[in-house]
Structure formats: structure tokens, C-alpha cells
Amino acid sequence: MREKFLKGIPVSSGIGIGKVFLYKRDLPHVPERVINEDEILKEISRFRSVINKVEKELSDLYQKVREEMGSDIADLIEFQILLLKDEEILSRVEKFIQEKKWDGAFSYYRVIQDYRESLANSSLPFIRERETDIADCAYRVLRSLLGDEKTFLSNWHTTEDVILFAFDLTPTEVAILNKEKVRGIALGRGGKSGHVAIMAKAKEIPAVDGIWDLMRDEYQNRTAILDGKRGVVIINPNEKRIAQYQREIAEEKKMKSIYLMERESECVTRDGKYIDISANIEFIGEVEKAKEYGAKGIGLFRTEYLFFSRRRIPSEEEQLFFYEEVAKKMKPYPVIIRTFDLGGDKVIPGYTELNPFLGWRGIRIFLEKRELLRTQIRAIMRAGAEHKNLKIMFPMISTLEEVQEIKREISQVKAELEAKGIPFDPEVELGIMIETPSSALLAEKIAPLVSFFSIGSNDLTQYTLACARDNERVSYLYDPLHPTVIRLYKETIAAARKYGIWVGACGEIASEVLGIVLLVGLGIDELSMVPAKIPEAKRIIRQLEWRKTQEWSEKALSLATAKGVRRFLIREIRKNLPDLAEGLNE
């Protein structure tokens, strides 16, 4: 077999090399078996015993994940426990056993198939994930009822490095993976905001998604390279290719050890410009990783993942617990909590619209559902009472009126908490995401009302250039270094300077060499990124001269194309900072 390239979507960065292991979690064939009248009660009891057994397995796994990765990630498994104990399903199974005299396995199989058929073809990712969760529960229950548990992924052990191929995986399956042996995960479906992507990143396992033709028997036991940075899986790579990737892995390990030795060093340019470096996180468990890599704060805590793990809006007390945990773990450094950014690619269950990125999204949802907004504001302010290091950031702002409305809601929440004698932090800073062209152009009007801006370059780029970043047909247009987008960065930073507030950036550009050089030159105060990229960002900044980057940024603003900007910056870096030029291509 010759080298074969499978293209997908990068969802967890890193490179892995190993033998392909095809994991197929198809429900087993369950033959119809009729039982005698006098066996009915015994069969119902056996069925209930199996449900209790599987519940114990999932509960043990929940505790393991809670200890290793945090309670918020563990909630993904708690959701499966709730599915397992769904009384509607269990009652229908027992009804089939009693009325049709089918055994427990066939009765359960028939009930589950009905549910799966209604969910599997949904166009909504949330509904499809629910179908996957149901399938995982059903797989465990049926294998136990049939006395065949050897095919559980949890019972699978390997002594060699593997690349796990699967059409999809569930939270319980990802949770038990040993990252020392599972060097990568290749999936048919899931998505960047799906639970597999979330947990793979938390476990630091490289992953690629969206490879629809990956479950071929001919791939089994073949050597494969999974490149989670570029979204590629290479089957049967030649020796030259393997050697190339092995060198890249070795270089990454070497650089990581160097970076980690320097993680506590100050992030200052050679001519004295200080830049705050913070981490983007989605789960409590990532706080320790952020500190390990040298983050001096959390620049973006994506709270919508508290929603995804439950498939519902968490209560005020649930939110309070999570925000207090993050504040306590990160103290004395600041934590910026972004309010729920639902909509767009983060689909709301049961709700569809023709163009979700331009529709009911972010702050628009919560200005319509005011109590949800107040609940989150209350939880954040209460969580800040003791540690005094929390800030609130609102997403998807496009008008001045939205900011004014938010300010009124905050004043109302403060008054309510004070009237009830509930402790809270009245000095919590308010900031907004600059991720729409209108918010950038209005920055000078908005700045007096807030304490900080954070540039979300990913959305700002796609809204400015009118191209979805995940649409392959127009992805060539997407470039956060396009001159029009750079002008919006400049407008935002200039407005912040005029009114004495600070400005950060938390999109992908904040961790890339060219983006860092450009933003530092424009006068950015803070850069926030995934924890693993922090040490390299610090190394880049410590080699820069702020004065020189200012000249480069001014020149970039005068250019007409993104290609021209990239070519200019790369040439200047090669000439002045050759150590940073590796891997940069014009």
C-alpha cells in the first residue's frame, strides 16, 4: 500500500506516530428470544441488576475523571449516567419483557433502536451527540446482558503506540484513554466544540476530525502519522516522511523543555515593553496546565462549555462553584470570565436558523433572555467576593446600546445583591469582545463605558472579510493579517489608549509569530492563548524590539493585500530575527 493522505479538521494540536487501531462500537446483533411466563420477574430483576452494574462502572469513571481533569469535564459522564437511568426507557423495556415476553437484551435493543433512529439523522450536532451517548450506554448494557464485555474500549490494552481510528467516541471512551500509548485520535465526526475535541485537548492527545472515509479494514495495524496541527493523517508513510516527523516531534520536545525552564521569566521586549501573557481555558482542570506553562492570568474562560457538558444552562449555584474554583486556583492573577457565547458554531439544542453566525448569538440571546444574563452576572460577582480577581467579558457586541443595556443590568444586579446582604465584589471590571467590525469602529464610543477590550481575531476576520473560516470553498479569503482587519485592530487599540483602558487579543493570531509581531507593534497590552503555546510566545516577545515592531506594523497598514503583509513581515523577521524565521513561508 502506498502513502495515503486523509484530510480532516484539526481539533487538538500535536503529532503522533503509531499503528492504526480501528475501533468500531456497533451495537451487537441481538436475536429475539422469548421467555416463559414464570421467567418474567427473574428477567426484570436481571435487567435491573445490569443497569446498576453499568451505573457503578460509569460512577467510578466519573470519579476518576473528576480527580484527573476536573468536575466540569466529569459532568460529560454524569450526563451519560442520567441517560442510563432514564425511567421512560427503563419502563418501556420492562413493559416489553412483561407483555411481549422478550428477554431483557432484545427488549432493551428494540427500545434503544427506536430512540437512535429518531436522533441519528438530525442535522443538529447536539442531537447527534445525544444519539452517540445513548449508543454508548446501550453498548455497555447490551454487552453485559449478553455476557460479552471483551470489546469494551475500557477493556482494551496495548503495549505499542497506536493511532485510534473511530467514527465517533463518547466522553467515557476518551476519558479512559492512556495518552502514553494512544498517540492520536482520528474521527469521522465530532467538531471543534464537541466533547471529544474538548477532552482530547484536556488530555493533550492530538486529534483530527471530519475524516469520513477512515474506517477501512485495510488501515488496521498500518503505521500512521497523525498531524493535529495541520489536520492530516498519513497512512503507511515512507521512511523519509517518518524521519521528518520524528525530527519535528523531537524538536517540539526539546523546545518545550527549554520554554518550561524559562516560563517564570518576565515577558518583556528587548527595549522594555511589557506584555501580559494569559491562557484561554474551557475547564477548571486546565488552570493547573496554564500555571505550569507560565500564564499570568486567564484571558478567556469560555463558560459555554459548562452548558455543553450538561445540555442545559447551569444554575447560579453551579456557576458560583466553578467560578470560585477558578478564582481560587489562579489567585493572585486575574481571571476573565466570558459570558455564555452560544449560537454560531456552538449550536443551541432545538433551535436552528438559516445563518447562525449572523443570527441569534452571544449577547443577543441574553439581552432577550434577561434572567439568564442576570444569573450569570450574579454568580460571577458573588464568586469574586473573596478573591477579588474576576472580570466579566461580554461577547458578540455590535452596538453601543448593547453595552449600555449590559451596564444597566449590572447596576440592577448589584442593587439586588446589596439589598439582600449577599457578599459580592462591587469592583468587578467589565470588558467586551471586539469581534465585529461595528464594535471596532465604535470602539472610541464604547471605551468610556468599559475597563478593557479583548480582540477576538477569529470572528473579527470572518465578519470583516465575509467568509466562514470553516468553509473550505472560501477559506482562502480568511486571513487575520488582511490589511482591513489590521486597521480594525489599530482602531481598537487607539481608542483604548485614548481612554486609558487596556486591550488584549485572544484569537489564534495571539499565539502566531507574525500575529505577535504585528500586535506588539500596534501596542497590544495582553495576549491570551491555549496554555501549551505560552512559553513559545514569551520566547518570541523577549527577542523583539518594540520600536522596530512599531515601524513594521505601520508599514503593514500601508499594504493592500494579506499576502503582501505576510511577505513583508517574514522578510523583516528573516533579516532581523532569524531565530524566529523557522517554518515561515511566504
Question: Is the peptide bond between 334 and the residue preceding it cis, with omega within 30 degrees of 0?
Answer: no
Residue 9's pLDDT is what? 86
**Class level of CATH domain 4-17+160-254:** alpha beta
E-assigned strand segments in 182-297: 182-187, 207-209, 223-227, 232-235, 276-281
532 pLDDT tier (thresholds 50, 70, 90): confident
205-209, 376-380, 532-536: the lowest-pLDDT one: 532-536
Q: What DSSP state is assigned to residue 343?
A: B
Instruction: Look at residue 363 and tell me whether its pLDDT is greater than 50.
Output: yes
Which has the higher per-residue pLDDT, 123 or 385? 385
Residue 16's pLDDT is what? 96
E-assigned strand segments in 425-558: 429-434, 452-455, 502-505, 526-529
Which has the higher per-residue pLDDT, 119 or 448? 448
Residues making up the binding site: 302, 338, 435, 458-459, 469
Residue 193's pLDDT is what? 46
pLDDT, one tens digit per residue, over 266-316 is 899 999 999 999 999 988 888 988 998 899 999 999 998 777 666 677 899
Whether 506 is a known active-site residue: answer yes
Measure Cα distances from 376 to 12, 333, 338, 448 in Å. Answer: 29, 21, 10, 24
Q: Where are the domains of the chain?
A: 4-17+160-254, 37-146, 268-580
Measure Cα distances from 169 to 140, 165, 209 in Å. Answer: 14, 10, 11
Q: What angle do CA 11, 15, 19 make, to 5 degrees?
A: 105
Which has the higher per-residue pLDDT, 99 or 146? 99
Instruction: Look at residue 547 and tell me whether its pLDDT is greater than 50.
Output: yes
pLDDT, one tens digit per residue, over 233-244 is 999 999 999 999
| The CA-based dihedral angle spanning residues 374, 377, 382, 388, taken in that order and rounded to the nearest 10 degrees | -160
Q: Does this chain's domain 37-146 share its CATH topology with 268-580? A: no
* pLDDT, average across residues 566-575: 95
Segment holding 324, helix H or strand E: helix 316-330
Q: What DSSP state is assigned to residue 414?
A: H
For residue 523, what is its C-alpha cell?
501596542
Rounded Cα–Cα distance for residues 117 and 36 (Å): 30
pLDDT, one tens digit per residue, over 146-157 is 886 555 565 566
536 pLDDT tier (thresholds 50, 70, 90): confident
Cα separation of the two ends of the chain: 34
* pLDDT, average across residues 326-334: 95
Tell the CATH topology of 268-580: TIM Barrel (3.20.20)
Q: Are the C-beta atoms of 432 and 407 separated by less than 8 Å?
A: no
Residue 505's pLDDT is what? 97
% of the chain beyond a pLDDT of 70: 89
Amino acid symbol at 447: A
Q: Are the C-beta atoms of 508 and 471 separated by less than 8 Å?
A: no
Tell the CATH topology of 37-146: Enzyme I; Chain A, domain 2 (1.10.274)
Instruction: Look at residue 419 and tell me whether its pLDDT is greater than 90.
Output: yes
Amino acid symbol at 333: Y
What residues pair up with 224 in beta bridges, in sequence order? 18, 235
Q: Are the C-beta atoms of 511 and 533 separated by less than 8 Å?
A: yes
Residue 12's pLDDT is what? 86
Q: What pTM was estimated for this model as a whole?
A: 0.76
Residues making up the binding site for Mg(2+): 435, 459
Whether 195 is a known active-site residue: answer yes
Out of 137, 157, 195, 387, the active site residue is 195
Q: Which residues of 124-134 are buried (b: 16+ CB within 10 A; e: fewer)?
A: ebbbbbbbbbb
* pLDDT, average across residues 40-55: 94
Which has the higher per-residue pLDDT, 243 or 27? 243
Residue 131's pLDDT is what? 64
Return the closest-CA partner of residue 77 out of 233, 198, 164, 252. 198
The length of the chain in residues reads 586
* pLDDT, average across residues 340-367: 68
Out of 137, 267, 482, 506, the active site residue is 506
What is the chain's mean pLDDT, rounded? 87
Instruction: Look at residue 208 and tell me whether its pLDDT is greater than 70.
Output: yes
* pLDDT, average across residues 511-529: 96
Residue 507's pLDDT is what? 82
Residue 538's pLDDT is what? 92
Secondary structure in 3-state letters for 24-56: CCCCCCCCCCECCHHHHHHHHHHHHHHHHHHHH
381 pLDDT tier (thresholds 50, 70, 90): very high
